[in-house]
Amino acid sequence: MTLWVITAMIVAMPRWDPRAKDRLRDAALELYLEHGYDNVTVAQITERAGLTRRTFSRYFTDKRDVLFAGSEQLPAALADAVLQADDGLSPFGALLTALVDIGGLLAGRVPHAAQRRAVIKASPELQERERTKFAAVTDALAGALRQRGAAESGAKLLAHVGVAIFQTAFERWTDQPQHADFAACVRETTTELAFSLGAVDLPAFSGRVRS
Amino acid sequence: MTLWVITAMIVAMPRWDPRAKDRLRDAALELYLEHGYDNVTVAQITERAGLTRRTFSRYFTDKRDVLFAGSEQLPAALADAVLQADDGLSPFGALLTALVDIGGLLAGRVPHAAQRRAVIKASPELQERERTKFAAVTDALAGALRQRGAAESGAKLLAHVGVAIFQTAFERWTDQPQHADFAACVRETTTELAFSLGAVDLPAFSGRVRS
């Protein structure tokens, strides 16, 4: 096949544009930020992207899915990473390793994390969806930590704290102009938290404690 | 007024039974555990409690409210407690003091915390409501921590971790047969978490880290 024929085929098949998904996502994020998520329709998204409803349906089930597509894989991916972390690590060490591994992958795949965050922050419905997502992540992480020997209630606590570290590190990563190093954000966040916890004199913190 | 008149008035006004609220809550929890939350009606609750729909409406807006009545006060109560904690405390120290103070009050007022937890665990709708409640608590705590000088993103992180400690300590408290001391549960949970975080060699946890 000559180059000309291949070029003609590509031009004739715009619906297989490999960037269609990105164009739809870009258009959706722009519109959500301009008009508010509740006020945007799929028709407006496809119009701005210059694509059809049929193309939209190939990549997303609905306008909410534009913001959450793929996130259903996050719980299992994180749990697997916890289970596969080095045997010598403590449960919390395995958790941090998993956050860095999966977060690093995710960070590379979310080109518009800051806009996405702004859209979600403005919508109670989306906030609820985001909480549901992280609740599933927390449950999966707690299950994996139990398999690594953490106690029932301690596993849930560590999973909650891991998710808090992950969310904070991810926000800090998206706020950086250079998006340098997700692992460094996780380390910085964890160090800060360990310092806060370590600075409290626990046996003495009983000034106003009722017992 | 003679004692006889007062007694006659109380007997004539059963709708002011001060235990009506408790009886309704007990009946509701029993029914939720027996039949599942989704399958229980307000009519069944009032029937089992031997009270009227009108009495129910005096205390609760609907069957979900039986599980969440009063919780709308929790965010402000915790935020106030953070702000009023001793000036010399670090933000995290103030947070722990608030958790112990308010949690201690709450623990005394939740006679059926373990049943309530079992009911919520069995219903996705109630789990979502519980998450929404704790999200409001997290926001309020983060706001109070910022007022005490914590940085924007650090305040949110500490608030998330504080809520995780609170939930874990509360579960442990309800699981104890004696319900002894909520403050001790918070201390134990925090110590355990500080130990987990401290045991990780942060600069070294980079075996599988992508940078």
Task: Give pLDDT, residue A156.
Answer: 95
A164–B181 CB contact, under 8 Å: no
Task: Give pLDDT, residue B35.
Answer: 96
B90–A131 CB contact, under 8 Å: no
Other residues' Cβ atoms within 10 Å of the Cβ of residue A44: 16
Instruction: Give residue-wise pLDDT tens across range B182-204.
Output: 889 999 999 999 989 887 766 55
Q: Which residues on chain A are in Cβ contact (under 8 Å) with B168? A: 153-154, 156-157, 160
Task: Give pLDDT, residue A7.
Answer: 53
For every residue of A52-69, DSSP letters joined together read -HHHHHHH-SSTTHHHHT
Q: Which residues on chain B are in Cβ contact (under 8 Å) with A161? A: 160-161, 164, 193, 197
Compare B16 and B155 and report the one with higher pLDDT.
B155
The C-alpha of B96 sits at a distance from chain A's nearest C-alpha, in angstroms, of 8
The C-alpha of B65 sits at a distance from chain A's nearest C-alpha, in angstroms, of 19
Nearest CB among B85, B161, B171 relative to A193 is that of B161
3-state secondary structure of A119: helix
| Cβ neighbourhood burial of A77 (10 Å; 0-12, 13-18, 19+) | middle
Residues in chain B: 211
A93–B200 CB contact, under 8 Å: yes
Number of helices and strands in chain A (H, E):
11, 0
Nearest CB among A85, A161, A205 relative to B161 is that of A161
Would you write out chain A's pLDDT as a tens digit for each of its 211 residues? 555 655 554 444 555 567 899 999 999 999 999 999 999 999 999 999 999 999 999 999 999 999 998 888 999 999 999 999 999 999 999 999 999 999 888 777 666 888 899 999 999 999 999 999 999 999 999 999 999 999 888 999 999 999 999 999 998 988 876 767 888 999 999 999 998 988 776 655 554 443 3
pLDDT at B104 over 90: no
Using CA atoms of A79, A83, A84, A90 in order, give the dihedral in degrees to the nearest 10.
120
CA angle B120, B125, B131 (to 5 degrees): 70
List, in order, residues 6 or more apart from A51 with CB less than 8 Å away: A15, A17, A20, A23, A24
SS (H, E, C) B136-166: HHHHHHHHHHHHCCCCHHHHHHHHHHHHHHH
The C-alpha of A69 sits at a distance from chain B's nearest C-alpha, in angstroms, of 20
Which of A124, A156, A121 lies closest to A140 in space, CA to CA?
A: A156
Task: Give pLDDT, residue A27.
Answer: 96
Instruction: Give residue-wise pLDDT tens across range B49-103.
Output: 999 999 999 999 999 999 998 888 999 999 999 999 999 999 999 999 999 999 8
pLDDT band at B8 (very low <50, low <70, confident <90, very high): low
Q: Which residues on chain A are in Cβ contact (under 8 Å) with B200? A: 90, 92-93, 96, 190, 194
Compare B18 and B170 and report the one with higher pLDDT.
B170
pLDDT at B44 over 60: yes
**Four-residue CA torsion sign, A30, A33, A37, A41:** negative
SS (H, E, C) chain B: CCHHHHHHHHHHCHHHCCCHHHHHHHHHHHHHHHHCHHHCCHHHHHHHHCCCHHHHHHHCCCCCHHHHCCHHHHHHHHHHHHHHCCCCCCHHHHHHHHHHHHHHHHHHHCCCHHHHHHHHHCCHHHHHHHHHHHHHHHHHHHHHHHHCCCCHHHHHHHHHHHHHHHHHHHHHHHHCCCCCCHHHHHHHHHHHHHHHHHCCCHHHCCCCCCC
Nearest CB among B96, B187, B205 relative to A96 is that of B205
Task: Give pLDDT, residue B208.
Answer: 45
The C-alpha of B7 sits at a distance from chain A's nearest C-alpha, in angstroms, of 37
